Structure 1
Amino acid sequence: MKKVILIANLIAIIGCAEAQTDRGSWLLGASSSFGYSSTSYDAVQIENASNFNLEVSAGFFLIENLAAGLNIGYDKTKQGFDGNTTSLFGPFVRYYVKGVFFLGTSYAAASREEIFASAGETKKFGFLAFEAGCPIWIVDNVAIEPSLNYGIASGDDIVNSKTFGLNVGFSVYF
């Protein structure tokens, strides 16, 4: 019975939560995907990858519930005996629906350096990403933000790369 009451209270709190998503507010956040992601390439068969990434973002609410800002990211991937590190930088837009869930998109200019198989080789590409998530409000202006993400990359030696994953973020709104 205690578990049922606890779950009902959590649902009520999440459903009633209103974030600091008013026009003129700021958003600072960090997110990461941990462990394993599955990536498919149209042109080449490559093993699945273990992956770590960290992305930091800062945004401004242009109107109520609509934030725009910049992302800076770092990604390290290992595929079998090969791997690479990637740096990303670019704009994002995120729309909040009553503080209960959000939808967003971003574009990043990226630079990838091969770190195991062919050290020193750098490739440049673009990365278009889409996200959908649900902020879990800890207090009025702090949230843990799990989200599903889908991304498409193209550029130097990258032919139609697609990525799907789960990220966990942490954001402060003020």
Structure 2
Amino acid sequence: MKKLFLAAFAVFAFASVSAQDGDSSSALTKGSWLVEANTGFGGGATGAAHRSTTSFGLTSIDGTTIWSIGGEAGYFVMDDLAIKLGLGYNDFDGASSFSYKLGAKYYIASQFPVQLDFTGASGDDVFGDESPLWLGIQGGYAWFVADNISIEPGLRYNHSLNEDFTDEGVLELNIGFALHF
């Protein structure tokens, strides 16, 4: 796990000191679209409980395999501010759930994305009678490798809004890949 965090930190540090290869100004303007796929690392045992995600992930804990697939899309309602919607499918060693996310993403100085969102999930035989809900906040760096493609490493915290399900938060390291139209 330490090697994973060290590698992620190295990627983030490299992205932070590298010059922007593309011009992000046209990609983040009012009326443009964003399509994004994320990977999520971290969370440990709590992360297994948080499998209401719209990212790509694979976790194996004590012989139980959990995987997820999903994506997000957004529309820029003003320069640097996108309203986003995400959908995901999660498999808990044979039991499945669907996840949804609604939020907003703002690019500070057209380079540092900050996101606030609401995430939930539903699924038979996964959560029992509970419907997990999370409030997420995320920050990172948008490295534009082309005019319409960005790699966005970031740090995310999910706060549980349903204490009957879990009262623990989840800290994750994400690497996002976004297309801007």
Answer whether TM exceeds 0.5 for this pair: yes
Is the radius of gyration larger for structure 1 or structure 2? 1
**2:121 — aligned with what?**
110
Q: Does 1:38 align with 2:48?
A: no
Write the distance in 2 (CA, Å) between the matches of 1:107 and 1:113.
21
TM-score (norm 2): 0.68
What pairs with 1:59-78 in structure 2 (closer than 5 Å)? 59-76=74-91
Which residue of the partner structure matches residue 125 of structure 1? 132
Q: Deviations over 1:46-80 (max 9, x none)?
A: xx9586443311111001100002111234568xx
The amino acid of 1:168's aligned partner reads: I
Residues 9-34 of structure 1 deviation map (CA, whole Å, 9 limit, x = unaligned)? x62326x8424111111111111214
What are the residue-to-residue correspondences of 1:127-166 with 2, within 5 Å?
127-155=134-162, 157-166=164-173
Q: Which one has the bigger strand percentage?
A: 1
Match of 1:23 in 2: 30
DSSP 3-state at the match of 2:166: strand
In structure 2, what is the equivalent of residue 3 of structure 1?
none
Superposition deviation, residue 38 in structure 1: 3.1
Q: Work out whether 1:101 is the aligned partner of 2:112.
A: yes
State how far apart, in whole Å, the 2-side matches of 1:130 and 1:157 are: 21
Contact 2:102 2:119 in 1 (8 A): yes
Between the two proteins, the alignment pairs up a number of residues equal to 151
The answer to whether the 8 Å contact 1:30/1:54 transfers is no
Q: Secondary structure at the match of 2:29?
A: coil
Gaps of 5+ in 2: 1-13, 48-59
What secondary structure, in the 3-state scheme, does the structure 1 residue paired with 2:19 have? helix
Aligned-pair identity (%): 24
Distance (whole Å) between structure 2 residues aligned to residue 128 and residue 111 of structure 1? 16
Contiguous gaps of at least 5 residues in structure 1: 1-6, 42-47
**TM-score w.r.t. length of structure 1:** 0.71
